[in-house]
Amino acid sequence: MHVVVLTKMVPDTEATVTVDASGQVHWGDKLVINPWDEYAITEAVLIKGAHNVQVTVMTVGPEAHAEALKHGLAIGCDQAVRLWDPALEKHDSLAYATVVAAAIRKLGDVDLVIFGKEMSDLATEQHIFQTARKLGWNLLGFVAKIEALDFAARTIRVRRMGDHGVEIVASRLPAVISVLKDINEPKYPSFIGIRKAAKAEIPVWGLADLGLSAAEVAPRVQVLGYRELPKREGSAEIIEGATAQEKAEKLVARLLEEKIL
Give dist(CA 153, CA 78) in Å, integer.
Answer: 24
- pLDDT class of 261 with cuts at 50, 70, 90: confident
Residue 71 CB coordination number (10 Å):
25
- Given a contact cutoff of 8 angstroms between Cβ atoms, the answer to whether 41 and 6 are in contact is no
Rounded CA-CA distance 229/210 in Å is 40
CB-based contact 37:4 (threshold 8 Å): no
Torsion region of 33: left, alpha or beta (phi above 0 gives left; psi -120 to 50 gives alpha):
beta
pLDDT at 248: 93
For the chain, domains (ranges, CATH) are 2-217 (3.40.50.620), 236-261 (no CATH)
Q: What is the pLDDT of residue 207?
A: 97
Give pLDDT, residue 13: 77
> What pLDDT does residue 116 have?
95
pLDDT in tens, 192-230: 999 999 999 999 999 999 999 999 999 988 888 788 878
Q: Give the mean pLDDT of 25-53.
A: 92
Give the model's confidence band at 236: pLDDT under 50 very low, under 70 low, under 90 confident, else very high.
confident
pLDDT number for residue 186:
94
- What sign has the CA pseudo-torsion 110, 134, 117, 91? positive
Note the pLDDT tens digit of each residue in 125-159: 999 999 999 999 999 999 999 999 999 999 999 99
pLDDT value at residue 165: 87
Give the pLDDT confidence of 8-36 residue by residue, as tens digits: 999 887 778 888 888 788 877 788 999 99
What's the average model confidence in pLDDT over 179-202?
92
Closest CA to 160 of 150, 146, 149, 148: 146
E strands, 127-196, are 138-150, 155-162, 165-172, 175-179
Q: What is the pLDDT of residue 48?
A: 97
Q: Which tens digits make up the pLDDT trace of 53-94?
A: 999 999 999 999 999 999 999 999 999 999 999 999 989 999
Rounded Cα distance, 228 and 234, in Å: 18
pTM given for the model: 0.85
